[in-house]
Structure 1
Amino acid sequence: MTRLLRAELRRFRSRRLVIVALLVAVAGVGLITWGTWQTARPLTGGALAAAQSNYDAAVRDWEENGEEIMAGCLEEQERVREAEGDPTLDFGCETMEPQREWYFPEPVTFVDSSRLALSGTAYLLAFAALLAGTTGTAADLSSGGTSTWLTFEPRRGRVYTSKLSAIGLSLVLPTVLLVAASVAGLMLLYRSGGLGTALTGDQTGDLASMAARVLALVVAAGVAGAALGMVMRHTAAVLGAVVGYLVAVEAVLGNAWSTARPWMVLTNIEAWLDGPASYYVTTCTSTAQGTSCDWVEREVSTGHGAVYLAVLVVVAVVLGLLTFRRRDAA
């Protein structure tokens, strides 16, 4: 088994599409890190001048028309209270005066930016791992390499295990390095902008835990991709199925049927990476005044996401094994 694993490690790492996926991942992580910094950095130059100009204009407008705006707001608030029979409705009229912080937002903290960057990095690396894992098995099947390999090792279970193990192990080091590079790069950008990067013990533990979840997700995506490659035999077929699912199920069905969100892959990935994932469902109630509908927030827990994703990977691996055992490898 050790020899099989070593051979599969060499074969997987030498594949051209795997190398391309790695290079794309490196470039993507760099862009995500830079983009996160751009949204987190304090205002400078022209943006700072524009914010000051907008704030000054809002203050002047409020000084000229504030009393009229306030009176109109209170009048509308009272009208709606009477119409709906709810004296507690609050339009926030007393808070309408322009505040400086509306125009000069505080920079995003380093820990929050790091979480955002890790989340974006996780999705990118998971897709790259899925692509690499798929080509690691599908390319061998379509080219006839697996058929030749079985003449040296006819026990298909061992061949299958060695392939998936090699793919999973090969993804560990690149993922660790890219995740570390993302956080380190963001830290350098924060320090270059004169912003603090100090973390408490709890914050450090939280980021480390999230990085570990990113690693688990990427390895799982690679292994699942390898299993799907065994089932569909072509990298393009797997990618087509994934894209079709994202469009038809995640985008269309998920938006049209909000109660299905807990069973969507992306929702559970979000829950696994970032803690509870929120989604909203519409609830309607009928009263003497008519029917009113509200958006109610619900959550998918981290545990739910972990179990859901684990079951998906196990199903893919078992399906891949059954297909590989029973179907001609040529």
Structure 2
Amino acid sequence: MMRLLRVELRRLWARRVTRWACVGILVLAALSTVVAYGTARPPSPQEVAAAEGAYAAELEVWEAEGAEQVADCEASAEAEGATPQEWGCTDMEPRLDWYLPPSQTFVADAGQDPAVFGSESVNTDDPATAAAVQEVRGSVWNGWAGLSSLDDLAMLLLMGALVVGVSFVTAEVNSGSLGMWLTFEPRRQRVYWSKATAAAIGTAPLVVAGFALLVASSYAAFASFGTLGDVTGAVWAEVAAFTGRLVLAGAALAAIGVALGVLFKHAAAAVGVVAVVAWASLAFGYAFGELQRWLPTTALTAWLQGGSVFTVENCTPAADGVFECVPVDHVVTTAQGGLLLLAATVVLTGAAMLVFRWRDVS
């Protein structure tokens, strides 16, 4: 088995698609660096001066009419049966940051406006769920920051691992080299496991190097402008944990790619199925309600980011008989996401092994 694995690893890295994946990672890192430099740039002195002028003018109006505006807001909130806090009556005084152009730091600032940057109020009556929702939304992978944008780019690295896994099998099936290889090693289960393991292990350097380049280039961009934010040891520990989970996810998707390559025999069909499933999960996921918990995109996000939050409309009749729908937050934990990803890998691998054992690959 080890001999087969070494052979398959050499063949994997000798393939053209693997080399193109390396080029794609370099291009992705370059593009992300350009974007990071654009978002890391702080406001210019002219923009700051204009913002200060607008803030000063608005502050004069507030000092003259602020008490009346707050009273009107509180009266409107009371008329609608809401509290002043829910209507924002306690946070109406102008602030300078309202007039500055949007800017980012490498690590999200704890003082960023929750209404703008995604830390909205929690919609659940369960204290444990509420705490979990706040923990997920308070992660460095959520919010408005350079670091939190890298998790979306990491998905492209995983797609690269999947494509490499798919093409590793389909190219040999369609060229006939797999059938010839089976004449030298007729034990199909060993051949399948060697290919799946080689894809899982062989794509790990691509994922690790790619994500390291993304983090390093983004960090350099923000550091050049002095807009890093509060980069602590805990932040780097979370980056390391994310990298570890990313490598495991890449290994799983590479193995899934091998399985799909065996099942569909054509790379376009295998990758197309994944693309359709991912698109349908993102486009129509909300309509699934509680079933969102079992969607592959939800599981993958939960595994990578240390948890994921999805919302379900809870519709109940009010006292007057009219149905009222309230969004309720739910959490998928890291363990749940990892188990779902593992289950998908095991099921597809098992199906592919059965097919590979009996299907004619010549």
Q: Sort the TM-score into its range (normalised by shorter chain).
A: 0.7 to 0.9
| 1:91 lines up with 2:87 in the alignment | yes
| 1:13 lines up with 2:13 in the alignment | yes
- Measured against aligned partners, the alpha-carbon deviations of 1:157-200 in whole angstroms (never above 9, x if no partner) come to 12111211221221122222222222222222222112457744
Residue aligning to 1:284:
315
When the two structures are aligned, how many residues end up with a matched partner? 325
| 1:268 lines up with 2:299 in the alignment | yes
Residue aligning to 2:136:
none
Residue aligning to 1:150:
182
- Measured against aligned partners, the alpha-carbon deviations of 1:275-325 in whole angstroms (never above 9, x if no partner) come to 120111111333324432211111001010010000111111111111110
- Alignment map for 1:1-330 (pairs within 5 Å): 1-36=1-36, 38-44=38-44, 48=48, 51-52=51-52, 54-56=54-56, 58-59=58-59, 62=62, 66=66, 69-81=69-81, 90-104=86-100, 107-110=104-107, 112=140, 113=145, 115-196=147-228, 199-252=231-284, 254-289=285-320, 290-330=322-362
The answer to whether the 8 A contact 1:110-1:190 is kept is no
CA distance in structure 2 between the partners assigned to 1:327 and 1:57 by the alignment:
77
The answer to whether the 8 A contact 2:18-2:164 is kept is yes
Cα pair distance change 1:31/1:52, threshold 3 Å: farther
Which secondary structure does the structure 1 equivalent of 2:326 belong to? strand
Name the TM-score, length of structure 1 as normaliser: 0.87
Which shifted more, 48-57 or 224-233?
48-57
Cα pair distance change 1:114/1:179, threshold 3 Å: farther
The answer to whether the 8 A contact 2:58-2:94 is kept is yes
Cα pair distance change 1:176/1:272, threshold 3 Å: same
Cα pair distance change 1:270/1:40, threshold 3 Å: farther
The answer to whether the 8 A contact 1:179-1:211 is kept is yes
- Measured against aligned partners, the alpha-carbon deviations of 1:214-273 in whole angstroms (never above 9, x if no partner) come to 111112111110111011100000111112212334422x12122111001111111111
Equivalent residue letter for 1:74: E
CA distance in structure 1 between the partners assigned to 2:312 and 2:291 by the alignment:
10
CA distance in structure 2 between the partners assigned to 1:133 and 1:263 by the alignment:
24
Which shifted more, 314-323 or 106-115?
106-115
- Where does the alignment leave 5 or more consecutive residues of structure 2 unmatched? 109-139
Which shifted more, 170-179 or 284-293?
284-293
Equivalent residue letter for 1:2: M
The answer to whether the 8 A contact 1:32-1:117 is kept is no
Name the TM-score, length of structure 2 as normaliser: 0.80
- Where does the alignment leave 5 or more consecutive residues of structure 1 unmatched? none
The answer to whether the 8 A contact 2:165-2:255 is kept is yes
1:87 shift after superposition: 6.7
CA distance in structure 2 between the partners assigned to 1:291 and 1:91 by the alignment:
23
Equivalent residue letter for 2:2: T
Cα pair distance change 1:57/1:317, threshold 3 Å: farther
Which shifted more, 158-167 or 224-233?
158-167
Which shifted more, 306-315 or 47-56?
47-56
- Measured against aligned partners, the alpha-carbon deviations of 1:53-76 in whole angstroms (never above 9, x if no partner) come to 654564455457545544432332
The answer to whether the 8 A contact 2:107-2:228 is kept is yes
The answer to whether the 8 A contact 1:36-1:117 is kept is no
Which shifted more, 170-179 or 189-198?
189-198
Equivalent residue letter for 1:161: W
Which shifted more, 108-117 or 118-127?
108-117
1:208 shift after superposition: 0.9
What is the RMSD of the two structures over their aligned residues, measured on CA atoms? 2.7
CA distance in structure 2 between the partners assigned to 1:184 and 1:272 by the alignment:
23
Which secondary structure does the structure 2 equivalent of 1:110 belong to? coil
Structure richer in helix, relative to its length: 1
Cα pair distance change 1:90/1:165, threshold 3 Å: closer
